Amino acid sequence: MAKMRAIEAAVWVMEKEGVTQAFGVPGAAINPLYAALRKQGTISHILARHVEGASHMAEGYTRAVAGNIGVCIGTSGPAGTDMITGLYSAQADSIPILCITGQAPRARLYKEDFQAVDIESISKPVTKWSITVREPALVPRVFQQAFNVMRSGRPGPVLIDLPFDVQMAEIEFDPDTYASLPAYKPSATQAQIEKALTMLNESARPLIVAGGGIINADASDLLVEFSEVTGIPVIPTLMGWGTIPDNHPLMAGMCGLQTSHRYGNATMLASDFVLGIGNRWANRHTGSPEVYCKGRKFIHVDIEPTQIGRVFAPDYGIVSDAKAALEMFVKTAKEWKAQGRLADRSQWVGECQQRKGTMHRKTNFDSVPMKPQRVYQCMNRAFGEDVCYISTIGLSQIAGAQFLHVYKPRHWINCGQAGPLGWTISAALGVKAADPTRNVVALSGDYDFQFMIEELAVGAQFKLPYIHMVVNNSYLGLIRQAQRGFDMDYAVQLGFDNINTAEEQVVKGYGVDHVKVVEGLGCKAIRVHRQEEIAPAIEQAKAWMKEFQVPVVIEVILERVTNIAMGTEIDNIIEFEELAKTRADAPATAVSMLD
C-alpha cells in the first residue's frame, strides 16, 4: 500500500485499464488531475480548442480501434455541459468513452458557486453511469467500476465528476495488485442458435442485417464466414457498414430512407426473412415497421435485452453478444452444411447480385459547378480500399453513403443517431491519434465544417495529418431539401458576397473563404471546381500531409441546389436525378457506378 492523492490513484487505474491517450482542456477545478497526469507521464494528452471537440476526439479514438476507450477531460461548469453532446453521441451509438470533469469543493456544492453545476444530474440521461464522487477513498474504485460499466453489456459512456478537495485528499492505494473487473457479456445458448438456424432454413429469401454491434464486438470476420457458409446475403446498417466488404458477392447493399442503395432497398423488399445481429432497427434504416416488416419474419440478436422488441416484436429474440452468437452460428452452420442440412441459396443470391449489378444512381455528370454525385465518383476512383471515411450528418453524409464504398470494419466512422454538426473534424483527429497509419478521409458539407473548424489547429499542433473533403454548396442542404414540404427556402442559405473575395473568383457569393481560414489555422487547403481537378488535388494533399504532417482540406465547389434521393418509406424513395443506364451484361458483383 502507498499513500497518494486520490487523483493519482485515478491515473494509476486508467493506466492499468489500458489508457494511453486523453483529450481535453485544463482548468482550475481539474488541475489536480493534470498534475497527476504530468507526474505519472504514461498517458499522452491532446489539447482541444473546445471541450465538445475533446469529447468527439475521444469518440473517434474509441471507434477507430477495437478495445480502445477514449478519455476526455474538462474543468467544472461549462466544460461538462459542453461535453453533453459528445456523451449523447456516444450513448446513442453504443460507444464507450470516459468523461472526467472537475467540480467545486464539496462544501461549495449547491451554493451557486462559480462554475459549479450539477453535471451528474444533467448527464444521467446520456450516459450509462454518471457520478459525483464525494468520498476520496472511493475514487479508485469508481474508476475501476467505470471501466467495467463501459465494457459490460451494451457499451456506452460514463461521466465521473470530481470535487477539487476529493482529488487532493490523500488515500491508501496499491497499484501493484490492482486488477480489472471482468466484463459481463451475455451469450446465446446452443438451443437458441439451432432454433434460429431452423427458422432460417425454412425461409426462401433470407437476409442478414449486420449492425454496429458486430463492429463493437470485433466480429466482422465471423459475420462474413457465417454468410459464406450459409449463402445468405448481408444488408449492413449505416453503423455496420464495413462488416462485409462492398465488393463481396454476398454484400447486398444498404437499406433505408436516406443512406441506402437502390439495390439494397429492392432486395429487402424481395426478402421473406431477416436475421438482425447487433442492430437496433433505427428508423432511418426501417422507415415505418408496417412497410419494413410486411411479408417477412424476423430474428433479432442483441446484447441488450430491452432492445429486443423495442421498435417491433420479432418472431424470435436472442440476448447475446454479437461475437459470442456468431461463433456459435458459424460452428453450427458448418456442422449442418457437412450433414447436408443447409438450404441451397444460389438462386436467391443470384437475384441479389443481379440487382446489385444494375440498380444504380447516375454519377457521371459533367456540369460545372459540380454535382455531388460526380464528386463521390471521383473519390471512389482516387482512394484505395484502405480508405477510412469519417462523417456525421447532412446531404454530404447521405450522398456519401449512397455512392462511396467501404471495404473494412471501422473504416466508415459515422455518428449515426445523434448526428451533431461539427463532429467530423474532431472525430477524424481522434481516429488519427488512435492509428497514425490510417488513411483517414473526412467528409463534410460546408456547414458541418464551419461548426468546429477551430479544431483543425489541433491537427496542426499535434501533427495529425488527414484529408478533409468539403463539398461546398453554401447551403444547409438537407434542411433546404426538407423545407420543400413546407414550400419554403428559409434561413438555410449560407452564401453572401464576401468583401474579401476577389471578383474573378468563381466562389464569389459563396460566403466564407475556407481556404484562408484553414491556412490561418496552420493547415493546408486546395479549392477545386471541376471533376478533372479532384485527382490531382488528392495527390497534392497526400504530398503535403507527408511533408508538413498537418490536415489538408480539399474544398469542392458544388452547384447550389441538388436534391439527393430519399423518401418516407423504403418502397417510396424519390429519385430526383436520372438513374444510371442498366445493361444486361453488367457484372453481378459490380461496385463501380454505371454511367
Q: Kindly list the catalytic residues.
A: 25, 51, 421, 476, 479
Are the C-beta atoms of residues 167 and 33 closer than 8 Å to each other?
yes
Residue type, 516: K
Q: What is the largest CA-CA distance in the chain?
A: 77
Alpha carbon distance 234, 253 (integer Å): 8
Alpha carbon distance 361, 388 (integer Å): 23
Residue 395 DSSP SS3: helix
Report the DSSP pairing between strands 524-528 and 467-472.
unpaired
**Cα 576 to chain centroid, rounded:** 27
What's phi and psi for 72, nearest 5 deg?
A: -125, 145
Alpha helices (H) along 116-189: 119-123, 139-151, 164-168
Burial, 346: exposed, middle or buried (Cβ in 10 Å; 0-12, 13-18, 19+)?
A: exposed
Alpha carbon distance 190, 210 (integer Å): 21
What's phi and psi for 423, nearest 5 deg?
A: -70, -35
Q: Which residues pair with 391 in a beta bridge?
A: 414
DSSP 468-484: EEEEE-SB-HHHHHHGG
Residue 205 DSSP SS3: coil
